[in-house]
Copies of this chain bind each other. A is one copy, B any other.
Amino acid sequence: MPQRRVARRRLTAADWAEAALDALRDEGSLSAIAIEPLAARLGATKGSFYWHFANRDALIDAALAGWEARSTEELTEAVAAGEDDPAARGRELLRTMTGLAHRDPTELALLAEAGQPRVAATLERVITRRLEALAALLETELALPREEARSRALHAYCDQLGRAQLARAIPAVLPEAADDEETVIDSAWHSLLGAAAGGQRGA
């Protein structure tokens, strides 16, 4: 019995990778990327999967690569936007960098799974690029010294990261105003501009 349900189209490796990312976003854990559940979700079986991928790790790699590509793409778009207005570009950068964590749990899921070396490496590349972009903006547009720019960027990023974490884990402790992304971005941008000495003072 040729048991196709209706007239399902055939799957590609990209379909599997995307399904893996979906599962990671929905379940919030790398263990959600499992062949058999994904196959069920896709209306297929393992036979399809093992044609496109060598094993589960290969699928995870593909999903990570997909996420990294999407993230860097959004970053470059944000950098390119509003070329004339530095403030607008800064806010757009912040939105891309930190708003993602609020809108899309994938990033927090990966952060939670940073024990895995491949996950950590992916995160390192993405986050480094973001910090680099933000620091560069501060350095050129606000004429801040390099170290100060990097320090402020890092500070803002950590703040938003912790905020996103709390928003996901225990939203009750955050003020209601934090629901509005525009408000959050606004606050982050102003604290970025008006930061005090900042950075680690020691040594």
Q: How far is the CB of A13 from chain B (nearest CB, A)?
A: 28
| Range class of the A interface residue count | 35 or more
The reply to whether the CB of A157 lies closer than 8 angstroms to some CB of chain B is yes
A47 at interface by CB-CB < 8 Å? no
The answer to whether A124 touches B170, judged by C-beta atoms less than 8 angstroms apart, is: yes
Could you say which of A38-46, A65-73, A111-119 contacts chain B? A111-119
A166 an interface residue at 8 Å Cβ cutoff?
A: yes
Is residue A154 contacting chain B, with contact meaning CB distance below 8 A? yes
Looking across the interface, which residue of chain B has its beta carbon closest to that of A160? B162
B-binding segment of A2-10, A77-85, A87-95, A176-184: A176-184
Q: Is A1 an interface residue (CB 8 A)?
A: no
* Selected contact of A191 from candidates B111, B113, B128, B196, CB within 8 Å: B196
Contact A200 B173 (CB under 8 A): no
Complex Cα spacing A187 to B136, Å: 23
Copies of this protein, total = 2
- Contacts A120-B170, A170-B120 given; does A177 touch B200 at CB 8 Å: yes
- Contact of A201 with B173 in the complex, beta carbons under 8 Å: no
Query: Given A162-B160, A198-B191, A201-B183, does the pair A173, B114 have CB atoms closer than 8 Å?
Result: no
- Please report A residues at the B interface, Cβ cutoff 8 Å: 27-29, 31, 111-115, 120, 123-124, 127-128, 131, 151, 154-155, 157-163, 165-166, 168-170, 172-175, 177-178, 180, 182-184, 186-187, 190-191, 194, 196-203
Contact A194 B196 (CB under 8 A): yes
Task: Tell me whether A111 and B114 are in contact (CB under 8 A).
Answer: no
In the complex the two chains form, what is the Cα distance from A28 to B186 in whole Å?
34
Q: Across the interface, do B177 and A203 meet the contact criterion of CB distance under 8 Å?
A: yes
Given contacts A31-B31, A160-B162, 7 further A-B contacts (CB under 8 A): A111-B112, A120-B170, A158-B163, A159-B162, A162-B163, A177-B200, A191-B196
